[in-house]
Amino acid sequence: MTGQGPTKEPPVQGYADSRFLRVRDAFEHNFATGEELGAAFAVYLDGEPVVDLWGGVADRHTGRPWQRDTPVLTYSCTKAITATVLLRLAEQGAVDVTAPVAEVWPQFAAAGKSGVTVEHLLTHQAGLPVLEQPVPPEDFGDLPGIAARLAAQPPLWAPGTAHGYHALTYGFLVGEVVRRVAGTSVGELVADEIAGPGGLEIWLGAPDDVVSRAARLSAGDRFTRPAAKSRVRGGPMAVSEDPGPGGDPRYAAALAALDTGSLMNRAMGNPNPNLLKGGANHPLVMAAGWPAMGLVTTAPGLAAFYRDLVAGELLGLGTLRDAVRRRVRGPDRVLMLDSSFGLGYMRPALTYPVPGAARDTAFGHTGLGGSLGLGDTRHGLGMAYTMNRLSQVITGSMRAYRLVEAVYRSLGRD
């Protein structure tokens, strides 16, 4: 037949079990509406793969297609991995999460922090969400050096009295505790004890061959200054720009996102990947192994991490149940929204939006721009969503929410 161009490759590839066809529909919807560039979604149910989908392009400049094994930087999805590493050490008796950090890191007691516990670090209560001294790019790989800067700082609030998202500092703090008790980095323990034995495609400190095939992150629409009776769209975390009677905390969060001097932007801006060409796409960022935001993974790899976690293979189930117990819930001093945390794991809240059926059982972590990892022991689920078009929302995304909702609906849970 003449007059036709070459047939285009279908934008969505992969597999969805017949019980989960609505998940494929939701994944295809994200592409059909133009919200995706490249993305992947994977789900395990009771240890078995039931969804493994991918599509789009890994690099919008070259048109390189997204493959099943395309890795990508997933920002704060990393925090759940880091928490698991520390909790494994706690199970072994190497560290007590209720004890002061200074017991294993004496220098940390400086500036009035002698009473700060490891639990305070894991639950974002330490009062150290900001690195006050700028970290130059040549020091990005010196994790103990960055941690030493934090050890010298006073807290911004009395530790244990409030919580505020430690966007980057969480990793340097928890990572230094791990290094002090284990004699090695979080990334090395991930490789040796989690990724290697399980054959999981997760890297905290990505090698050159992984960096070379990683998807390239691209910015989506950005926040604009609020105007009355308009909306910044973005899904579950859409920010209302008309506060209405009584105000709307999402409005305050949007204003904080626009204010370069806000605690939110200070917490997320140092160390600053944008000092490097290509920002977070720079090989140095992916290789540095920052334990708060450096995870490079595939969707099947991150989903398999949660599969193994809910099966009791990475932590004892008693340890996991205690770790996901809500320690804090309510207004977050950094994100300006309600957030909730167990020991390093996010729990459902405005900052971790999930459908009603998952609100009592889901745990995991979001990543800046929209990526998501989620486990659910009651429903036997492990799932992950990865993408390279960064959403404009502060945390969570409608793209991920649609997929998670479709999973629970497929199980007859609304």
Question: Which residues belong to the active site?
Answer: 76
Contacts of 265 (CB under 8 A, 6+ apart): 256, 257, 259
Tokens (6 digits) for 385: 């969503």
Measure CA of the first residue to CA of the last residue in the chain; give whole Å. 47
- State how far the Cα of 353 lies from the Cα of 262, in Å rounded to an integer: 24
Other CB atoms within 10 Å distance of the CB of residue 259 = 12
Please, are residues 253 and 336 in contact by the beta-carbon 8 Å criterion? yes
Among 390, 199, 347, smallest CA distance to 339 is for 347
Q: 295 Cβ partners below 8 Å, 6+ apart?
A: 73, 74, 75, 77, 78, 81, 202, 203, 204, 302, 367
Q: What are 23's two structure tokens? A: 């998940």
Of 303, 308, 285, 304, nearest in space to 295 by CA = 285
Locate 292 and state its tokens.
Answer: 């708060």
> With contact defined as beta carbons under 8 Å apart, do 220 and 389 qualify?
yes
Preceding amide of 154 cis, omega within 30: no
Q: How far is CA 332 from CA 42, 84, 143, 226, 357, in A?
A: 30, 23, 26, 21, 24
Contact indicator for 65, 9 with CB cutoff of 8 Å: yes
